[in-house]
Amino acid sequence: MRSSRVAIVGLLATALIVSGATLASAEDGASAGDTASTPQAITTTSVSFPDAASSAPVEAPAADDSSPQAAPAPALPSAPEQRVMSGEAPATPEPPAETPTEPGEPGEPVDPTDPTVPAADEPAPPRAAAREVAPTAEIAARADSSHADIVIRKRVTAEPTQVTAAPSVNIGTDHSDTVGTVFRLFANTGSNTVGAATAYTCTITTGGECTITVDAVNSGGANSGKRFWVVEQAPVPGSPAALNTYINSELYVGDYTGPQDVRSLVGLTKALGANQTTYMPMTTGVSSGSGYTNIASADLPNTSATVGEAGSFGAVVGSRKNPVIAAKCEATPLRIGIVIDQSASITASQWTTFRNALVDGPNSVLRQLRDANAAVSILGFGSSVVSPNGWHYGSTGPTALPANNTTLQNLIPSSRPGGSSNATNWDAALSTIQSANPSHRYDMVLFVTDGAPNYILNGSQPSSTEVALRSLEAPMYAANAIKAAGTRLVTVGVGAGASGTKVAKNLRAVSGETFGSDYLQGDWDALKQILSDIVTAATCQVPVEVSKTQVNADGSTTTTAANWQFAAALQPGTTSGVTLSGTAGQTTTAGVAGKARWTIRFTQPGGQTAVLKLSETQKSGWALQSVACTLDAVPITTTVGGDGASIVVNGLHPSAGALSCVFTNKQSTPASVTVNKVWKIDGETFAHGDQPGGMDAALALTPAGQTGTPKWGQTRTGFLVGDSVTIAETTSIDPTLLPGCILTGSTIAGPGITGGAALPADGHAVTLASASSTYTVTNSVQCQRLTIVKDVDNRFGGDGTSDDWNGGLFAQRDDQPQLAFDSGETQYVAAGSYALSEAERDGYGQRGLSCTGGTLTGSRVEVAAGAHVTCTFVNEDLPGQVSWTKTDGTTKLAGSEWTLTGPGGRTTVVDDCVGANVAACAGMADQDPAAGAFLLKDLDWGDYSLVETAAPLGYVLDSTPHPFSVGATSAGSVIALGAFINTLGVAPALPLTGGLGSDFYTFFGLGVLVLALLLLAIRRLWVRRQVAEVGTR
């Protein structure tokens, strides 16, 4: 049986390829295709669809492992069911894919409050990460005839009537737009997630279903007990499924406040067994009828979901693509139905915000629609659409809005209808619109909800109060019917319960593929603007909004930032009659409600275009990095103008959709600059301020940063990281104070300057790369320096110091003015030969002159270029001398003795030196060899007293003190005390008679003389010793 079936299919495939036969146009009619007895690599096959938009054959591409969005479309088989049989060499499989809205569109919608919301959205399946697609060993080649069939159903059009009715009741037999749908098996991982792709696929050609056959599932077979994921792939190009529908790879069920449990579609099979048939997707609660498989708890891949939440009506729902409608101007009014959620999850304050968005103020949705002459119906829903829910306005069809503003406001109740038990029933609301649409003929339905649906039909609960797969499938069918009638359906999720990428996929399922156009999300504060943008775009108006994103200095980002000024203006090239409303210049406030907004108004649906310029007022410290714009949620190319602050958008027209632009500015980090100054004079370094007087430099910075004149060593602010700053200086050297000094060079060192660089006269430009930058400017100066030092040696107690010569040390070059120095002073001099001299000072004499650093010849020193010469004068104090004579008035008398008392009470015994010459006086105090003449030398400075202690023999002693002083005025010369006169003594009278005889007196006199001579010798020996001590001091 199997071999004959395979043979027939093979013959039909061969015939198709050879003859190029095309498929019948009816979806339920016969179709031709190709199926192999064993899985083979899928090759390019020409398949045509007479009922498609184009009658040309569409190429099904060969397998391409590189793109998960481009799974190859297998050829359509001729049999009502396609069975892909096991074989020895499975074809290279493709990963699951969805039909993308745009090439390269993101895989998941992002939070619409994020300024980087993509223009187009294609929620990715849980397997969105790229996967290597290769033949897998998960499916073993069939070893015998046992097999399991997996029957997969799909519907685009159906009207479920019961929660647990059999699929034949709920999904019906309308197979429209299912032809060309492709399904593939993927391995199941140990964690019940989608694994590697297999070669097993099937394609719907008729009857709204196809079958995949898996072999080797008998007991002991390689595939026995295994479970596989059934995943919908990209449809056959050009097929009704490809042209009219898009894939929902997953929906979210569970908590009605924000469903978090993923329901991957089609789903995970039961464990396969021999001769078993599994119908996918699985149902729940069905107890009668045929052709269904109920899901059990053990079948749930997501343990947090329940059986009631996971069960389907019995078919994968393909979402119909959202029609695009042309904008309607006043002459042809827009017919719009507004469907508003009235569930109990909406608080009183949120309802007030909701109501105000619709009816309060000139920018409210209904006021804008009235101004555009639109016809409106308003339907409220909760658990159902019956009272207290139901029609608020236009129940018989879209109607012009009342001119009276109070009447208009009263169309929406001030308090939310429905009470505290009102649930969320998308199905009831959209089914009501579906039923009314044939007569109401809506151009657009605006569907606003704050949560996920947990009721269907007229108040049924598929799974308690939680969101179930069936409570999503039912409104998807109703939405498909609405869109099939040419009505555009736009859904808006508002508030926390309708936020995030998970709920976004549920919104996408009932509206369209593109985030920002088919479905939108936002918080309550943003609702008014979201709705306004939608209706203005549909009524020949192009809403324009501009927001600011700040990239702050610390790296953080602030979106919809406040206090930025923007302006909008129509430019030449705009068609006459097109106007721009809104204040030309606007300042943003924080948050999405604080964007700058304008509206371009057209008067005709075609033939009019606008050119719009958007510009910002730039702020110091901020630089415009980019401007990103979307038009109808699709990114457009923009170029910042030459002014660095504006863009121009061309070609805007009534159906262009909303224009949204984000200007992104980056804050520059504040920076400071410090420039230090160093002087290097003849190789010696001086900090600025310590350099010689007469040598100076002024700093210049361009720009200067903070106010005030730049100073060396000053940390100056007012700069930004990235700024270019030119550092320059003006130097001066006073030739009078610094003769011969010249600036030999200037260099600058600091961040960004490798090893230092020459500093030209017009400065050096640096780029501030960090928050703090310090630079050093070094000036090299060549000078000649002459230092004169006075050294004083006070050997004899002189009181002079080197300071006594301050101003009295001189150097003179040629005929130039004489330079006066203090002791130790250094002066800058021109190179040349200098005569050195000093002022004389009493009591001192020059002992020597020496120089280092220059050549000294006599008293002249040569100062070479760049030399530092130091010359030293050495002076010493001069000793004192004193002289006197001893006479009888006319003749000098020998033999006198003296005592000299000097400074500090020191005494000297002075004996009269009598000899042939001065040499005879060696060792004696008296240095004059003449008898009666005295000369004392090498006397210390101070006060003296001279007293005679022994008179010449026969003369009367004169003990009168003779004072004198040795000082500056007398040192170095002889102090002459003059002559000191002694008188002759008188001899005593001898008796004439009686008494002792003359011999007695003779011998007595001789004895006295001998004793006197002996005493004199002893005294002279003692004096010589004293003189020797004085000489050695």
* DSSP letters spanning 50-64: TTSS--S-EEEPPP-
Burial zone of 805 (CB within 10 Å; 0-12 exposed, 13-18 middle, 19+ buried): buried
Strand partners, 614: 568, 647
Residue 190 has a pLDDT of: 82
Angstrom distances, CA of residue 451 to CA of 493, 512, 534 = 7, 18, 20
Question: Which strands form 825-829's sheet, in the order they lie side by side?
Answer: 825-829, 784-793, 868-877, 844-852
Q: Please list, in sequence order, all residues whose beta carbon lies within 8 angstroms of the beta carbon of residue 243, skipping any fewer than 6 positions away.
A: 52, 53
Q: Please list, in sequence order, all residues whose beta carbon lies within 8 angstroms of the beta carbon of residue 152, skipping any fewer than 6 positions away.
A: 183, 202, 209, 210, 211, 212, 230, 266, 280, 281, 316
**Contact by Cβ (8 Å): 89, 105:** no
Residue 906 has a pLDDT of: 94
What element of type H or E holds 353? helix 348-359
What element of type H or E holds 1011? helix 998-1031
Listed in order, strand segments (DSSP E) in 137-248 are 147-155, 182-188, 194-203, 209-215, 228-233, 245-246
- Block means of pLDDT (10 residues each) for the chain, 1033 residues, are 35 34 34 33 36 35 34 36 34 38 35 35 32 36 69 96 91 96 95 92 97 93 94 97 96 88 91 94 92 92 85 96 87 91 95 95 89 93 93 96 95 94 95 97 97 89 90 97 97 93 95 95 91 87 93 90 96 94 92 88 89 94 92 92 94 90 91 95 92 94 94 93 92 90 94 91 93 95 94 94 96 93 93 95 94 96 93 96 94 94 94 93 94 95 95 93 94 94 75 53 68 72 54 46
Listed in order, strand segments (DSSP E) in 208-365 are 209-215, 228-233, 245-246, 250-253, 261-264, 266-268, 276-280, 316-317, 319-320, 335-341
Angstrom distances, CA of residue 150 to CA of 147, 185, 291 = 10, 10, 11
What element of type H or E holds 792? strand 784-793
Q: Is 741 in a helix, a strand, or coil?
A: coil
Provide the CA 593 distance to its chain's centre, in angstroms.
28
**Cα–Cα dist 943/420, whole Å:** 126
What backbone torsions phi and psi does residue 471 show, to the nearest 5 degrees? -75, -5
Residue 1029 has a pLDDT of: 52
**Cα–Cα dist 728/705, whole Å:** 14
Give the number of other Cβ atoms within 10 Å of residue 870's Cβ.
17
Buried b (16+ CB within 10 A) or exposed e, 880-900: bbbbbbbebeeebbebbbbbb
**Contact by Cβ (8 Å): 597, 586:** yes
**Cα–Cα dist 760/775, whole Å:** 15
Q: What would the two tokens of residue 1028 be?
A: 């020797």
Which is nearest to 176 in space by CA: 286, 11, 54, 27? Answer: 27
Which is nearest to 584 in space by CA: 555, 620, 613, 623? Answer: 613
Q: Is 360 in a helix, a strand, or coil?
A: coil
Q: What would the two tokens of residue 732 be?
A: 């001066």
**Looking only at Cα atoms, what is the longest distance across the chain?**
206
Listed in order, strand segments (DSSP E) in 892-1032 are 897-901, 907-911, 933-939, 942-950, 962-966, 974-981
Question: Which strands form 832-838's sheet, in the order they lie side by side?
Answer: 819-821, 809-813, 832-838, 860-863, 855-857
**Contact by Cβ (8 Å): 592, 522:** yes
Residue 570 has a pLDDT of: 97
Q: What would the two tokens of residue 467 be?
A: 């969101």
Residue 1026 has a pLDDT of: 54
**Contact by Cβ (8 Å): 169, 289:** yes
Burial zone of 394 (CB within 10 Å; 0-12 exposed, 13-18 middle, 19+ buried): buried
Provide the CA 282 distance to its chain's centre, in angstroms.
52
Residue 1003 has a pLDDT of: 67
Burial zone of 114 (CB within 10 Å; 0-12 exposed, 13-18 middle, 19+ buried): exposed
Q: Is 1007 in a helix, a strand, or coil?
A: helix
Please, what sign has the CA dihedral across residues 952, 956, 961, 962?
negative
Angstrom distances, CA of residue 282 to CA of 150, 189, 846 = 11, 20, 126
Q: What would the two tokens of residue 964 be?
A: 């004198």
The vertex-71 CA angle with 67 and 72, nearest 5°, equals 125
pTM of the model: 0.54
Q: What would the two tokens of residue 419 be?
A: 């009470």
Half-sphere exposure at residue 150, Cβ-oriented, CA atoms within 13 angstroms = 32
**Contact by Cβ (8 Å): 178, 52:** no
DSSP alpha helices (H): ranges in 185-296? Answer: 240-244
Indicate the pairing of strand 659-667 with strand 541-551: parallel
**Cα–Cα dist 45/58, whole Å:** 9
Burial zone of 1033 (CB within 10 Å; 0-12 exposed, 13-18 middle, 19+ buried): exposed
**Cα–Cα dist 759/748, whole Å:** 6
Give the number of other Cβ atoms within 10 Å of residue 18's Cβ.
8
The vertex-15 CA angle with 14 and 17, nearest 5°, equals 65
What element of type H or E holds 649? strand 646-652
Burial zone of 573 (CB within 10 Å; 0-12 exposed, 13-18 middle, 19+ buried): exposed
Residue 999 has a pLDDT of: 59
**Cα–Cα dist 914/933, whole Å:** 9
Give the number of other Cβ atoms within 10 Å of residue 91's Cβ.
22
**Contact by Cβ (8 Å): 206, 159:** no
**Cα–Cα dist 552/593, whole Å:** 21
Q: Is 587 in a helix, a strand, or coil?
A: strand
**Cα–Cα dist 210/229, whole Å:** 15
